[in-house]
Amino acid sequence: MENKKTLFKNFLSDLKNTPNSIDEYKYIGTGNPYSSTLIIGKEAAISIESEQYEIEIVDNFNYWNNLEEYNSDNIIERNFEKYSALYPYKGQILKKDNRKNWGTSKTWMNYQKLINFIYNNPQNSLINFHEKSFITEVNSTPSKVTANASTESISFRKKHILTSDFFQSFPIVIISGVGYFEASEQNNEIEQIFNVTFTEKIYADKEKKTQPYWIHWNKEKTKIVINTYQLSIGIADVLLCEIAKVIQNSNLLK
């Protein structure tokens, strides 16, 4: 953990001194920076005009930069007035939010199901995946609809965020959303950015040939990168179960 902490601190320092960057582009993410698993989404599905955008995205770098320790044990449950990037909105439950039930978004529900399957705890009904993973986005500019999203931050984030030693230190990477990485025979950005090689495409629903995911490994078998469609609407539990089994069998969980 000490090495991971050093990597994170060095990453923050480097990012702080990176020229031509703006606060939104320096969005880092949420969750446990000491974890084995990194989940990369497309972009946050919130309004760029909202206070939520300022708190969760624009202020994210400063939040991390002002922290000395990364232990989320002391985060107060359901204290929505005091946002924490270590453990956002602690106390949510595994139900679709109806503004009364302490539920959450469909994407976070699927993140939670995935973590539940990875750790053989399918009955867990809390949103606590932040304890076991770190979450970031390819695109730091939020949009409720991907087709309408501004993508100007992506090249900066690929160059300065995803390729950093800190982000490269995660042995398990799950990319939730194809489309923001070029993947062709001529140019495969996932291979280039994460120093891995594509090995296999699998359909979780083998009968219908749907729910696909792609597996990549590095040469030493010390890193696995799995990419699939955005983990929101249209994602079946069979996909999450299969990805979880691949991760369990990788022997890279710590």
- Side chain identity at residue 252, one-letter code: L
Which backbone phi and psi does 30 adopt, to 5 degrees?
-140, 155
Q: How many other C-beta atoms can be found within 10 angstroms of the C-beta atom of residue 111?
A: 25
pLDDT value, residue 68? 92
Report DSSP letters for 152-188, one per residue: TTHHHHIIIIITSHHHHT-SEEEEE-TTSS-BSSS-B
The pTM for the full model equals 0.97
What single-letter DSSP state applies at residue 178? T
Instruction: Note the pLDDT tens digit of each residue in 139-195.
Output: 999 999 889 999 999 999 999 999 999 999 999 999 998 889 998 888 999 999 999
**Mean pLDDT, the chain, whole residue set:** 95
User: Would the pLDDT of 236 be above 90?
Assistant: yes
Which backbone phi and psi does 137 adopt, to 5 degrees?
-130, 150
Domains located in the chain, CATH noted: 2-74+106-250 (3.40.470)
Give the containing element (helix H, strand E) for 245: helix 237-250
Tell whether the torsion through CA atoms of 50, 51, 55 and 61 is positive or negative: positive
Give me 117's structure tokens: 């399957």
Q: Quick one: how far is CA 204 from the chain centroid?
A: 21
Instruction: Note the pLDDT tens digit of each residue in 2-39.
Output: 799 999 999 999 999 998 778 999 999 999 999 999 99
